[in-house]
Structure 1
């Protein structure tokens, strides 16, 4: 693809922000001066110590979202920011699963959402993040394949 066409396509895609799509189950997406970090995993991947500390049931039939939001302060510096986060997942059968997302207490601002899964299945997540200092929600979509045992 010619460089100019790639640049125009990139500008067109950036104009669609603040919706970002991700095709993996963990990563970071930048929305202006905010960066949303996210991951999805079965809760049986957590150690017993971590699960107990944060009151999370360990199970191959339980999924967990982990989300944090940082603000870019410039010069490579960032700070964690509080946000209101809502989300839902849908499986390949089209079932929509609302996810209640709560803040994890501690020194770092982080959020967790728990939901039931029936592996093997692929779930599509739609997450809306409302940082305390933002004027519009930041929306991301990503997929996670829960393979099962």
Structure 2
């Protein structure tokens, strides 16, 4: 149970972010084979302990993108799968920051975290390429979100 303590903290924070209305409602795409969940939130929402464990920089001017990929099984269950994840965050002037994703593997949970900088009240377009199958084209995901300094 101890190895999952920080994961539960991070998931608890993500749940709070989503239910508090700070982030957009659940964001996902599904094609019947895979389900890809994604969201973005201010890095200061995670605890200092979780940030330290996963070497994540917390700042009121830094946000995180979280991506999780699930394979949809024939029996209706969902299995976390590894994927190649890349992307960028671009402002209205098309100034883009490349996102470098870290894989976080907690056994029963597998997700990817990337970070980027923002300024107060900045609307960013986030473009993701998620490729769970090396023999297939990646999924292209794009969403916009406005970030605020907390």
Q: Shared topology, TM-score over 0.5?
A: yes
Superposition CA RMSD, Å? 1.7
TM-score by length of 1: 0.77
Higher relative contact order (CA 8 A, sep 6+): 1
Q: CA deviation at 1:148?
A: 2.1
Paired position in structure 2 for 1:45: 45
Deviating 4+ runs (over 3 angstroms): none
Number of residue pairs matched by the alignment? 126
Bigger Rg, structure 1 or 2: 1
Which runs of 5 or more structure 1 residues have no equivalent in the other structure?
Answer: 1-23
Correspondence list, 1:1-149, <5 A: 24=24, 26-107=26-107, 108-132=109-133, 135-149=136-150
TM-score by length of 2: 0.77
Which runs of 5 or more structure 2 residues have no equivalent in the other structure?
Answer: 1-23
Relative to its length, the structure with more strand (as a share) is 1
Query: What whole-Å deviation, never above 9, does each CA across 1:72-104 have from its counterpart, x for those lacking one?
Result: 003320101110011001112221111111211
